[in-house]
Structure 1
Amino acid sequence: MNNVQVFDAGLKGRGLRTTKILQPGEVVFAEPSFAAVVFDRLSQQVCHNCFRRQVNLHRCAQCKFAHYCDRTCQTACWDEHKQECAAIRNIGKAPNENVRLVARVLWRVQKDTGIVSDSQLISVDLLKDHVADMPTDDLNELKSNMQKFLDYCPNTKHRTDYISHIFGMIDCNGFTLSDQRGLQAVGVALFPNLCLVNHDCWPNCTVILNHGNQSTLNSTFHSKKRIELRALGKIAENEELTVSYVDFLNVSGDRKLALKHQYHFDCTCKSCSEHSKDDLMMAAKETDGKKPSGELVKEVQMFSLECLAKIEAARTAGNFNEVVKLCQECLERQEPVLADTHLYQLRVLSVASEVLSYLRRFSEAAKYANRMVEGYAKLYHPNNAQLGMAIMRAGVTNWHAGLIETAHGLICKAYAILMVTHGATHPITRDLEAIRTQTEMELRMFKQNEDVYHSMREAALQTKPMGKMTEALRGEDNVKALTHKQ
């Protein structure tokens, strides 16, 4: 933690600032989780130690709830799992993820106190809980979880007000964990140092999960999963470090409402105060210096919202052909009226490209994906992780469609962004580097002889479909970025 120091950030409370100049992509600090749990719905699909999605996981023979890659991962996790294992056996089932995470935090506090290492800047006792600010529904849920916790841990020595504090603290400080490819949210964890980093809608840092190295046969030599705070650009000495708690791709008013609801503060960042890019996000299309009437824009926006609700319902039901039909109908109404940066049009383009890719209609998907990333590039920070992931998906879609020139260009752009946001050793960056090498080779072949290239490509697809990075194109459970728990 030599790169940072705690300081008084005024109305924002505590904050972190730099102690030296930082360069783009530099790791400001890394931090292992204080406690972490897998989401309930994925408890049998994700290793409870390394949080990787795996097939044929090994189940804990005692509680029959926890699952692991192998005996090595199970041994590495036993110190965290043993009290949980006994508690699950005692009540006959595992409680929800919030209760399990609170229990793990309290067991860790009881064992190691609220500070577990010299590099931890703040005790979990001192993190804010905002229980007093919770609306009635959230308070009722907290009370229900409190009772579930007391059933789960009937012999706890902690006072009920302290347990309530931990529930509240996790509610506004819990951090979503992704799988090894960064594509699906699989769990939630507490990182005390990260909790000190304040929000800004246009931040100077991003957070990525590094799963560590679990390849050694001896669990003693495993490196722990940890978050890495990375600089998005050059950061001056003594400058405050910030991350975004919400996706920037919403107008400032909607972001402020989301932040107020989840984190109980009024955002006063420059982007919200100046309503930066709100005009682009809700812009009408200009043709030959003329724009459609305000009444027509409003009508198309209302139609878009209704259509997006139908699209989501059809996607949830798994009716993907209906999703495509609805997207195409919506885009026909939007294109003459809404600008290419309008949020509603970008949302439809995103769904259309993902679902068409899932249906393996790559040529159609590529057209929508390309339009989507053009709009994203005008709105997002140039080193935004979500932008990098979107460009990566567009590049892979074009690759599958056989559009090698466009594909290679997009993949190179995505690689440049992900080198900053994820680093060279992250699994998704390594996979992207392999694709970049492959598309570069194919592009040289294409430029030498287009006919030969397409013939070889078709022959290769018939014997072995292009499967690498197919996960990046799935329309299910994609996660745009690691964020605080929603």
Structure 2
Amino acid sequence: MEEDKNLRARLGDDGLTVINAAEKGRCLVADRDFYAGQTVLEQDPYVAVLDGDSRGNRCDACFKQSPALKRCSACKFVFYCSPTCQRSQWKIHQEECKVLVRLSTEQKRPTLLLMLRLLVKRELQATGVLPVTALDNYEIVRALPTHFSETGDERLVMYAQMAVLIKTILNARYAEDVKEITKDICRISCNGHTICDDELRPVGIGLFPVVSVINHSCSSNSLLLFDGKHAVVRALGTISRGCEVTVSYIELGASTNSRREALSDQYYFHCKCPRCTDDSEDGLYKDDVLEAVACLDPACESFMRLSNGSWRCMSCGSSREPNEVNKLSTEAEGMIEKANRLQAAGDLHGARMAFQQAEKLQTELWNPRSVKLMRTRDLLLRVYLSLEDWDLALHVCRLTLPAYETAYPGSKHPLLGLQYYTLGKLEMHAGSVTEAVRAYAKAFDILSVTHGSRGEFVRKLRNELDQAKMVASSLHATSPRERS
């Protein structure tokens, strides 16, 4: 098809090609060597929308934060940071604005808004109002899989109801039949990307049809991050010519069974990547430890596996009954839910106490490298930071690092880098300058690859690392007598 030829020609300029594989369908393959930190692919979204928490804090055009946002006077829903951004979106927004004024707050859900923009943009490109390029056209969107037949009935009914609403509020110029709109919603569901900021906090969703050609691997060789709403795929290591480019679609801090379940539910495939199929003793150990129960013997450094109906330690042979494990797990989860409610209500002190109780329960239950314990400690860390309890924040942050290093193998994961960055700041605040330099250096080693060495975020980190080194050097150059 002509669009595929144009796409391949355009990607060829960037050292990439698209091939069709029997089990995977389309694959993005390197046509030259790429090295760690190098940009493999960039793309602006075909369409994108901010999420509810980011609306009013970020520009609807560029997704950047700005203290001087201006709201559309008609729909009073979208915000722009500059006249340039407003003009860039005007042809689409003048059409969607007429719809937005008629929608209730409850109806303005991100997926529905994304579909509205998709249908409007498709029509404007079809009529020549908006330009069409090799990387920005509806035909490459339409080529994305819908997984319509694999989608469960309950989910399809929900999508169909949304399609009916869209057809009702849009005039016939934009809205096709309900089934076709439902298929487009399916495309968004299994091909859309959560757009995140530099610290991997979600800010919106977008449809990047070329990026969506990249297949998943739990041991991927590249990473997708965003600059505003601009998608950037970077190599995590050397990608040799002829190798497939892969990214991760899901949160990787989980066991093989949990990852495969998430992928099957959202993307309708059974993962057979090297990490998921590693049945070596070392591979099984690394997988089990992520969700394993702690041994009851404090002197034992191993953990328990579920065997013959009970949890049994791999090393000392001690056991725990499933009922005891389930009881502790349920109590901890209930306490976390309570803590989240208190935090949402603004009661940080109450949330702190609830998270502390949850952590105590989970420390009795899960092994120290468990991702569940790690995530609870992360939630507790955020509360400590909000309360400016720096000493406890430092203590908890230190506890999380072994679990982070286990959950994100390969060392070049941005969440690991960001955790080291947080640790560096806390060590510096505590006056532990040498430890701060170590943490900052580890963060820089990771984030300069994942975020790009020239980006503003990494430049800021590099400045903090250099300042910490200067302080450390000054302290080392000063004798104990002079410091006293």
Shorter-normalised TM-score: what interval? 0.7 to 0.9
AA aligned to 1:355 is: V
Segment drifting more, 368-377 vs 289-298 = 289-298
Identity %: 26
Pick from 264, 269, 288: which aligns with 1:265? 269
Shift of the alpha carbon at 1:393? Answer: 1.8
* 1:103-122 pair list within 5 angstroms: 103-113=116-126, 116-119=132-135
AA aligned to 1:15 is: C
Instruction: Give the TM-score of the pair, scaled to structure 2.
Output: 0.83
Let me know the Cα RMSD of the aligned residues: 2.9
**What's the counterpart of residue 90 of structure 2?**
78
**What's the counterpart of residue 188 of structure 1?**
205
CA distance in 2, matches of 1:374, 1:410: 13
* 1:93-242 pair list within 5 angstroms: 95-113=108-126, 116-119=132-135, 123-155=140-172, 156-179=174-197, 181-211=198-228, 225-242=229-246
Segment drifting more, 444-453 vs 401-410 = 444-453
Shift of the alpha carbon at 1:449? Answer: 5.0
Shift of the alpha carbon at 1:439? Answer: 1.8
**What's the counterpart of residue 426 of structure 1?**
455
What is the SS of the residue equivalent to 2:149?
helix
AA aligned to 2:85 is: C
Residues 357 and 397, structure 1, Cα contact 8 Å, conserved in 2: no
Structure 1 unpaired stretches of 5+: 212-224, 456-486
Residue 256 (structure 2) pairs with residue 252 (structure 1): yes
Shift of the alpha carbon at 1:304? Answer: 4.0
Residues 332 and 359, structure 2, Cα contact 8 Å, conserved in 1: no
CA distance in 1, matches of 2:447, 2:423: 14
Query: How many residues were matched structurally?
Result: 441
Residues 297 and 338, structure 1, Cα contact 8 Å, conserved in 2: no
* 1:259-338 pair list within 5 angstroms: 259-274=263-278, 276=283, 277-283=286-292, 284=294, 287=299, 291=316, 293-295=318-320, 299=324, 302-318=327-343, 319-332=347-360, 335=363, 338=366
Segment drifting more, 295-304 vs 409-418 = 295-304
Residue 465 (structure 2) pairs with residue 436 (structure 1): yes
Shift of the alpha carbon at 1:16? Answer: 0.9
Encode CA deviations 1:283-342: one digit per residue, 9 max, x unaligned. 445836754723179845751453143123213322433443344445455557743322
Shift of the alpha carbon at 1:253? Answer: 0.8
Residues 300 and 334, structure 1, Cα contact 8 Å, conserved in 2: no
Residues 254 and 291, structure 2, Cα contact 8 Å, conserved in 1: no
Instruction: Give the TM-score of the pair, scaled to structure 1.
Output: 0.83
Which structure carries more relative contact order (alpha carbon 8 Å, separation 6+)?
1
Residues 140 and 210, structure 2, Cα contact 8 Å, conserved in 1: no
Shift of the alpha carbon at 1:437? Answer: 2.3
Pair 1:115–1:126, CA change in 2 (3 A): farther
**What's the counterpart of residue 216 of structure 1?**
none
**What's the counterpart of residue 64 of structure 1?**
76
What is the SS of the residue equivalent to 1:8?
strand
CA distance in 1, matches of 2:178, 2:450: 40
**4+ residue runs over 6 A deviation:** 450-455
Pair 1:39–1:328, CA change in 2 (3 A): closer
